[in-house]
Amino acid sequence: MAKKRVVTTKINGRPVEFLCEPRQTLLEVLRENLDMIGTKEGCSNGNCGACTILIDGKAVDSCLVLAVEAEGMNIETIEGVASADGLHPLQQAFLEEAALQCGICTPGLIMSAKALLAQNPDPTEEEIRFALAGNLCRCTGYDKIVRAVQSAAKMGCASAAK
Amino acid sequence: MKDFEYEAPVSLATAIEQIAAGNGSVKVLAGGTDLIDHIRTGRLTPSLVVDVKKIPELNVLEINSDGLRLGASVSCASVYGNEDICRDYSALSDSCHIIGGIQIQNRASVGGNLCNSGPAADSIPSLIALDATCVIAGPQGTREIAAEDFCTAPGKNVLESGELLVELVMPARPAKSGSHYLRFIPRNEMDIAVVGVGASVMLDETGETIQSARIGIGAAAPTPLFAKEASELLTGLPANEESFAKAAAAAQEIVTPIDDMRGTVEFRTHVTGVLTKRALHVAVERARKS
Ligand SMILES: Cc1cc2nc3c(=O)[nH]c(=O)nc-3n(C[C@H](O)[C@H](O)[C@H](O)COP(=O)(O)OP(=O)(O)OC[C@H]3O[C@@H](n4cnc5c(N)ncnc54)[C@H](O)[C@@H]3O)c2cc1C
Ligand code: FES
Ligand code: FES
């Protein structure tokens, strides 16, 4: 078996060192080695976006990243989105707009939306739909999700996202 | 996933050594959007994965009077994030915009798209239209090959064991040139091309006559095609719909598509013609504005 590697990263602002095998995806290591189960596994092949996290500010599917690749990277997951003061505007908006049912897709959608708003604080509906095209939701319907992102943008989510 | 070793060399020389030493059971990793799934499902069982994203030569993104140099592991998002590429090599940025969603585009590279060598790979018709040369390195040194000669069969290409793709080089785009890529898919996003066409044109200074054109076609044969006759017949013709229709008819002559759930042979042949006309139309519009 391939030797385990020590990987040094930053996760949600805190330095984290973990041990992993080269064959483990970052999704697997987050959920199974680090007990961070907020990031969800849907398809494990890059189609559903449930496993979306941010690496150096960019949305990626963590099921398509090897954990060993994360050396030196800055990782953000759903666990780091709320602050001590309460929910993030995106999380608040998803609740208020009823933009979730089973919730499996929600962490990924929030991470994708967070990356979008950090880059583009006032997106059009079309820009939101494009940015979320890699996130599938099988229960809620996308209109409510898009409305939630629009409402978070209005709440000034961009400043909160920084 | 099945067990494998992992290396992330920071020099091209080391990468070549590691790849060559692996005797064919090595796989190169760029964005991993094809490779990691292939390993997970057991279609590929490498004993070593060599991550090439830390090699400076594969991260080059340079655009100047000589043309464009695009390192093999540069991500699709970096391609369309570059204003010069969007302006002068629009077909390529069009392709990068439609490969998967944002999460995929942030990782997937054009080099990986080419090396995966799928018949429907969205960047390859654009590389062909933009006359890209593939720079390949291996234990025997460096060699070059035209983009249209890179793929040899579905999932197969000219890379010999021990070789890797270093960069894609595209010639400079003079004034009055433009390009476009578009595909037909049953959905708006996140699907595999039924047919994809990339076209580039250079016009005379009046913007009315075509000086040269190149057309690349994807998903209509076992490998992406360079539509040579369709491209060459456009030389000297007026840049209008009638000329585009002639090229479209010639393009339809060379396709050998398959029948599958995404489309029949007849439909794919028809769509090849329609997309060729549309790709040329937009390429000409862009050329006139350039
Ligand atoms: C959800 C989803 C949607 C997708 N949508 C599209 C789409 O719309 N259109 C499309 O064309 N593709 C699509 N793809 C496929 C894929 O994203 C692209 O083919 C991508 O460009 C591959 O690039 P990569 O950097 O991720 O390659 P990797 O997965 O890292 O590598 C792909 C292959 O090329 C080899 N390779 C990579 N770099 C080199 C190199 N420098 N030298 C030699 N060999 C190399 C690898 O060994 C591997 O065999 C999609 C994939 C997913 C998961
Ligand atoms: S679990 Fe990663 S995209 Fe579906
Ligand atoms: S809420 Fe169930 S998948 Fe989106």
CA distance B222 to B53: 29
Out of B148, B171, B194, a domain closes at B171
Residue B77 Cα to ligand 3 middle (Å): 27
- Based on the fold, state whether residues A99 and A154 are members of the same structural domain: yes
**How does pLDDT run across B170-207, given as a tens digit for each residue?**
999 999 999 999 999 887 666 788 999 999 999 999 99
Q: Residue B284: its pLDDT value, please? A: 98
**How does pLDDT run across B255-281, given as a tens digit for each residue?**
998 888 888 999 999 999 999 999 999
- Based on the fold, state whether residues A72 and A39 are members of the same structural domain: yes
Out of A23, A44, A133, the one facing B101 most closely (by C-beta) is A133
Residue B236 identity: G
Residue B21 identity: A
Question: Dihedral, CA atoms, B26, B32, B33, B38, nearest 10 degrees?
Answer: 30
- Based on the fold, state whether residues B103 and B184 are members of the same structural domain: no
Interface of B with A (CB under 8 A): 1-6, 8, 29, 31-33, 36-37, 39-41, 49, 51, 53, 77, 100-104, 106-107, 188-190
Q: Residue B32 falls within a domain, yes or no?
A: yes
Q: Residue A161: its pLDDT value, please? A: 47
Q: What's the mean per-residue pLDDT of chain B?
A: 96
Q: Report which ligand 2 atom has the smallest distance to the Cα of B103.
A: 3
Ligand nearest to the backbone CA of B194: 1
Q: Does B117 sit in the ligand 1 pocket, CB within 6 Å? A: no
Query: Measuring CA to CA, which residue among B262, B227, B218 is closest to residue B248?
Result: B227
Out of A59, A68, A133, the one facing B106 most closely (by C-beta) is A59
Q: Residue B58 falls within a domain, yes or no?
A: no
Q: Where do the DSSP E strands lie in chain B?
A: 5-7, 26-29, 48-51, 61-64, 67-71, 133-138, 141-146, 151-153, 156-157, 164-171, 177-184, 195-203, 210-218, 225-226
CA distance A51 to B140: 41
Number of alpha carbons in the 13 Å side-chain half-sphere of residue A146: 14
Low-confidence ranges of chain A (pLDDT < 70): 157-162
- Name the residue range of residue B36's domain: 5-51
Out of B5, B36, B100, the one facing A25 most closely (by C-beta) is B36
Count of domains observed in chain B: 3
**How does pLDDT run across B65-105, given as a tens digit for each residue?**
999 999 999 999 999 999 999 999 999 999 999 999 999 99
Q: What is the mean pLDDT of residues B120-133?
A: 98
Out of A80, A115, A138, a domain closes at A80
Q: Read off the DSSP letter of residue A30.
A: I
ipTM of the complex: 0.95
Q: Residue A127: its pLDDT value, please? A: 96
Looking up residue A137, the CATH number of its domain turns out to be 1.10.150.120
- Name the residue range of residue A53's domain: 5-80
Out of B154, B171, B188, a domain closes at B171
Ligand nearest to the backbone CA of B101: 1
Residue A47 near residue B36 (C-beta atoms within 8 A): no
- Based on the fold, state whether residues B112 and B137 are members of the same structural domain: yes
Q: Residue B28: its pLDDT value, please? A: 98
